[in-house]
Structure 1
Amino acid sequence: MDEFTEHEKEILKHHFSNTDKPVFVITTPKQVDRGALMSRYSRSSKSMRRIFLDEFLNNPSRGEEFYERVLVEYGDDSVAELGLVQVGIEGISQIAIQSIEDRRIGLSYLEKSTRYVRFDQKVDGRYAYYRGDDIMGLKYVDAYIEACDLAFNTYSKSIEPMIKYLKEVEPIHSMHFLDSSKGVEVAFDELKSSDDVKMAEKAYESSIRAKALDVLRVLLPASTLTNVGVAGNARAFEHLLNILLASRLREEQSIAMMLYEELREYIGPFIKRVGSKHGESFRDYLNSTMAGITRIAGEYLKHDKDDGSYAYADTDADADEVRLVDYDKDNDEIEAKVVASILYEHADASYSDLLELARRMSREDRTSIIEEYVKHRANRRHRPLRAFEIPYYTFDLCTNFGIFRDLHRHRILTMQRQLLTVRHGYYKPMEVIDAGLEKEFDDCMYKSKEVYELIACREGKPLEAQYVVNLAYRYRYLIKLNLREAYHMIELRTSPQGHPAYRRVAQEMYRAIANVHPNLARGMKFVDMRDYSSRIEAEKRKLLKLNDNR
């Protein structure tokens, strides 16, 4: 390990976490220098700290020069992954945010919650929904505003009645809370400490409010504005920018241009190709492909221009939420492939030889190996190892758009989705019916449907019509995932604190996999198949846990 003079150490301490250990954090302020240092590292016999002193300290432009040469001139994409940035994007619609979160690799997202944040506030006397120039220039813009205002009004006016109803069906006196003196949960009326009572009341009020907002969020239209934080590497941001710039929606193009201007200040060299002939060529490819496939789809699917629908369209509001449409049909063969993969890391033989060995095994022996592979899992975070990435399952889902937003956060899978429409009916929470809010809910849905059809069919703008569709409307999308990711998704999404609608979807996915591959699904020990009529208890426990950790 290098030795540094006292003067060098004094300099280095402003750019690295230490000067005398083989493991250190790079803290030099300029993001472009951090990435360039790591890239330069791979082509030098010097240590990184010595490279910094020799090449970067007295050359403030060294990082930019490096990326200008390596990234722009030579097209070495991997070095762009060394530039990291965190951004905030505010005031964007539910349509735009899904396009952003479609990028699965290299970016992480945290979005404003519709469960814990009320969306009934007005800004300058107006609800916060998308009013871009493309929308305000529509022929039916007045109908659009009327429908969105109705959705927000219905949402806002329903909050207090829903809270009142939830308190009636699950009063605080029927629940249990922690007695700090005993270390166990007791009935609310048995709490002695005033602090325990205050904590219980706070948890109860928060859980009731969260439940109410969770039930009513499906009233919100896709035009609802939200905020998202995005963290990731420059290569992923470059791809995101190109995708958004190539979008057919003006909102997404506008987001891309603003994001590009902000990122240029901090990771400019990493994303320079967005504005070059390479970026333009990629966007031309995307647009040409989309135009060609749109034309072909219209021919093969027999587009009916009178109502904007397709002859090959499922408009059945009672269509299955979950359908397993593709999987390995030969149960013995897929088990043999998994067993061969399990053994592979412990053998010297080829995969082909191990597969033949697994095929010759008895079913009991294969089952025993598979069981050993998963039997030591103590909780859902103990995910199966990589052999379970061999089997794949393709699901055709038709859930409300709100549930899609939750499942969309899973990224180790392939997801393809259709445009948001009103043609598959809508989801109505049972609590809305029981609370006496059904008529207002239905009126809101009918109004959105009417305006959607005006914009999509009469005006011929199905892309822009998406903005008026409520989150309650059913949405069709395709998910292809491997068994390992299925374990993660299904066990997570069936947990008690999950939304009842996506818990139901995850439970159906589990049943489908267990039905075709029972041995492979048997290790999903943390799937919760119980039906929780209310999530208030789960919300209460989560909030109490958060308070305990503060």
Structure 2
Amino acid sequence: MYVRETFSTEERAVLSRFFTNIDGPVFALTNLPEVVKGALFARYSRSPKSLRRLFLDEFYDQPEVPIEELAEDSDNQQMVSLNRAEGLYDRVFSQYGDDSVAQLGGAHIACEQASNLLTKVLEWGRLAAYLEQSTRYIFYDQKLGDRYRYIAPPEVETGPLAGEYTKTMDWLFDEYSELVHKCVPFFEDQFPRQDGDSKFIYTASIRAKACDSARGLLPAATTSNVGIFGTGQAYESMLIRMNSHPLEEARDYARMMLEELRKVIPSFLKRVDIPDRGGAWSGYFRDNHEAMERIAAGFDVEPDGIEEVSLVEWDHDAEDKIAAAALYAHTDLPDAQLQALVNGMSDSDKAEVIRAYSGDRQNRRHKPGRGMERSFYRFDVLSDFGSFRDLQRHRMMTLDWQRLGVKHGYSTPPAIEEVGWTQRWDDAMGRMSDFHDTLMNEHGPDVSQYVVPFGYKLRYSMQFNAREAFHMLELRTSQQGHPDYRRVCQEMHNLIRDKAGHKALADAMSYVDHGSYDLERLEAERRAEQKREASTAD
């Protein structure tokens, strides 16, 4: 079926070092620097040659190397022309402005000991992949060096409140440590280990329950580790935005990230700190931020009291539009004509179209197609910061958030009262509220966010289409989810069905779970153990 390209014995020996196969029409690249892969694909788009022939003709730099040396474990990077690749990349990207070239190479980077304010800055972009350390599986009762796992922001460390900051944060982590260890035996008594459950899965479920209950005391300064994989384009956008951020921590990490990324993908990041390129871009973001701050400062209005989750805007014709969008690829009709036909259908017929488009879903990963993207929902949410941290990871939506503060109050998990900790919980929240105000008077509202515990409420908006609703609401209401964000997503589903009136769409989200559970992680841990046992048996 495919034309098989002819290569000499010597060429095949070369190609075998850099391509996963030599004869098929589908193959992967290996053992090549990122800039070479990026430049090779950039050249590929403007050449009639196959990629493997292009590599041999224009990128492989040692045509006289004997075959026996190719079989040795020599330095592959010395066998391709880095200078040629970098030169081509510069011409295409810098001179011609082809930003798509910056999508052709990437890198993994780890950002450790980052505050939970910085993690949200790192994860703001849609174009990268992120994996963040979870507060759900780790007790934050151990010190890293000479302090608990929190950062002292540079602005505070050099200011008059440095000593009080350390004293207050150490006290808060002492409270957290005592609470989380009080929760463990409480939950063990409340939920005895069942026959058939290994000690491993039972302990993991109890620890998760204890962490879920106590995490509201952790401050936003709590450190986390974030692993990132991104393209050159994603990193450039991330670093330029971080360079304009009001927090010094974000700007410091941007500098460190740029330094390390230039060791692996230097050609992709040349514009970041050039004054009239990345510098001007960062200045644009900074100027816009300051202008909006000036305008917003003129509003002297107290916020209205609203529900935890409010559906503030939606597409009233969503089900009609989605039914038409679902049918579009299966007809030869213009969009407007097809929409008119659907508008004339009965409600039951439209519901049947949506049911057929959703199909017989065997699990929540079976999702209908892009026709579901025709509608939208916009929610205004006021939940604890801990829940926001989890929901913010859904970057395909349009999401924006306000500063973390103390004016909206805080939430108290039911377990806090059950273990007899209510007064100490309230005392801790009160002390941190007072210290937040002290810090704000000295350093302003951005820096004062560091001391706000996760239990305090944050306001944020979430706008997404129906297809994203399938993904987020079904995932975040699953049994193993944290009860706080489960409640937020359950209410979103209720509002889609009852307030928006989109019953057919709500019904199609068949894996939204409105149940309540005791040990939320237990079933997930059981399934994980079954998979481990099956893997061992194989």
- TM-score, normalisation: structure 2: 0.92
1:518 equivalent in structure 2: 503
CA–CA distance in structure 1, aligned partners of residues 521 and 231 of structure 2? 39
- Cα deviation 1:168-211 (Å, max 9, x = unaligned): 11111xx2426xxxxxxxxxxxxxxxxxxxxx122212221222
**Superposed displacement of residue 401, structure 1:** 0.5
Determine which of 442, 465, 470 is the counterpart of 1:487.
Answer: 470
Amino acid of the residue matched to residue 288 of structure 1? Answer: D
- Cα deviation 1:307-346 (Å, max 9, x = unaligned): xxxx2435x5xx42111000123xxx33221121112111
1:32 equivalent in structure 2: 35
CA–CA distance in structure 2, aligned partners of residues 435 and 547 of structure 1? 34
The question of whether the paired residues in 2 share the 8 Å contact of 1:101 and 1:409 is answered with: yes
Which deviates further from its counterpart, 396-405 or 534-543?
Answer: 534-543
Determine which of 216, 219, 224 is the counterpart of 1:218.
Answer: 216
The question of whether the paired residues in 1 share the 8 Å contact of 2:128 and 2:231 is answered with: yes
CA–CA distance in structure 1, aligned partners of residues 444 and 234 of structure 2? 30
Q: Go from structure 1 to structure 2 and tell me whether the alpha carbon gap of 1:455 and 1:344 turns closer, same or farther (over 3 Å shift).
A: same
Which deviates further from its counterpart, 242-251 or 60-69?
Answer: 60-69
The question of whether the paired residues in 1 share the 8 Å contact of 2:242 and 2:254 is answered with: yes
The question of whether the paired residues in 2 share the 8 Å contact of 1:398 and 1:474 is answered with: yes
Which deviates further from its counterpart, 201-210 or 47-56?
Answer: 201-210
User: What is the DSSP-based 3-state SS (H/G/I as helix, E as strand, rest coil) of the residue aligned with 1:274?
Assistant: coil
Amino acid of the residue matched to residue 243 of structure 1? Answer: R
The question of whether the paired residues in 2 share the 8 Å contact of 1:207 and 1:543 is answered with: no
CA–CA distance in structure 2, aligned partners of residues 23 and 399 of structure 1? 48
Determine which of 37, 51, 54 is the counterpart of 1:51.
Answer: 54
**Superposed displacement of residue 75, structure 1:** 1.2
**Superposed displacement of residue 423, structure 1:** 0.9
Amino acid of the residue matched to residue 253 of structure 1? Answer: R
- Mapping 1:132-531, distance limit 5 Å: 132-172=153-193, 175-177=194-196, 200-276=198-274, 277-299=276-298, 301-302=299-300, 311-314=301-304, 319-329=306-316, 333-456=317-440, 458-459=441-442, 461-515=444-498, 516=500, 517-531=502-516
Determine which of 118, 132, 135 is the counterpart of 1:114.
Answer: 135
Determine which of 4, 18, 28 is the counterpart of 2:7.
Answer: 4
Amino acid of the residue matched to residue 139 of structure 1? Answer: P
**Superposed displacement of residue 139, structure 1:** 3.4
1:195 equivalent in structure 2: none
- Cα deviation 1:281-302 (Å, max 9, x = unaligned): 2111111111111111112x12
User: What is the DSSP-based 3-state SS (H/G/I as helix, E as strand, rest coil) of the residue aligned with 1:177?
Assistant: coil
**Superposed displacement of residue 102, structure 1:** 1.0
Amino acid of the residue matched to residue 395 of structure 1? Answer: F
CA–CA distance in structure 2, aligned partners of residues 19 and 518 of structure 1? 53
Is 1:547 equivalent to 2:535 in the alignment? Answer: no
- TM-score, normalisation: structure 1: 0.90
CA–CA distance in structure 2, aligned partners of residues 281 and 4 of structure 1? 49
CA–CA distance in structure 2, aligned partners of residues 114 and 321 of structure 1? 23
- Cα deviation 1:459-517 (Å, max 9, x = unaligned): 25100000000111111100000011101111111111111111111110000001121
The question of whether the paired residues in 1 share the 8 Å contact of 2:394 and 2:472 is answered with: yes
2:66 equivalent in structure 1: none
Q: Identity rate of aligned residues, in percent?
A: 38
User: What is the DSSP-based 3-state SS (H/G/I as helix, E as strand, rest coil) of the residue aligned with 1:227?
Assistant: strand
2:72 equivalent in structure 1: none
Which deviates further from its counterpart, 267-276 or 391-400?
Answer: 267-276
Gaps of 5+ in 1: 179-199, 303-310
The question of whether the paired residues in 2 share the 8 Å contact of 1:211 and 1:535 is answered with: yes
1:101 equivalent in structure 2: 123
User: What is the DSSP-based 3-state SS (H/G/I as helix, E as strand, rest coil) of the residue aligned with 1:226?
Assistant: strand
- Cα deviation 1:339-392 (Å, max 9, x = unaligned): 211121112221011111111222222222122112422211111211111110
User: What is the DSSP-based 3-state SS (H/G/I as helix, E as strand, rest coil) of the residue aligned with 2:367?
Assistant: coil
Amino acid of the residue matched to residue 136 of structure 2? Answer: R
CA–CA distance in structure 1, aligned partners of residues 82 and 446 of structure 2? 47
User: What is the DSSP-based 3-state SS (H/G/I as helix, E as strand, rest coil) of the residue aligned with 1:404?
Assistant: helix
The question of whether the paired residues in 1 share the 8 Å contact of 2:201 and 2:522 is answered with: no
Amino acid of the residue matched to residue 313 of structure 1? Answer: P
Amino acid of the residue matched to residue 322 of structure 1? Answer: V
Q: Go from structure 1 to structure 2 and tell me whether the alpha carbon gap of 1:357 and 1:536 turns closer, same or farther (over 3 Å shift).
A: closer
CA–CA distance in structure 2, aligned partners of residues 527 and 147 of structure 1? 41
Q: Go from structure 1 to structure 2 and tell me whether the alpha carbon gap of 1:63 and 1:492 turns closer, same or farther (over 3 Å shift).
A: same
CA–CA distance in structure 2, aligned partners of residues 421 and 485 of structure 1? 29
**Superposed displacement of residue 133, structure 1:** 2.4
**Superposed displacement of residue 539, structure 1:** 5.1
CA–CA distance in structure 2, aligned partners of residues 542 and 118 of structure 1? 23
Q: Go from structure 1 to structure 2 and tell me whether the alpha carbon gap of 1:205 and 1:336 turns closer, same or farther (over 3 Å shift).
A: closer
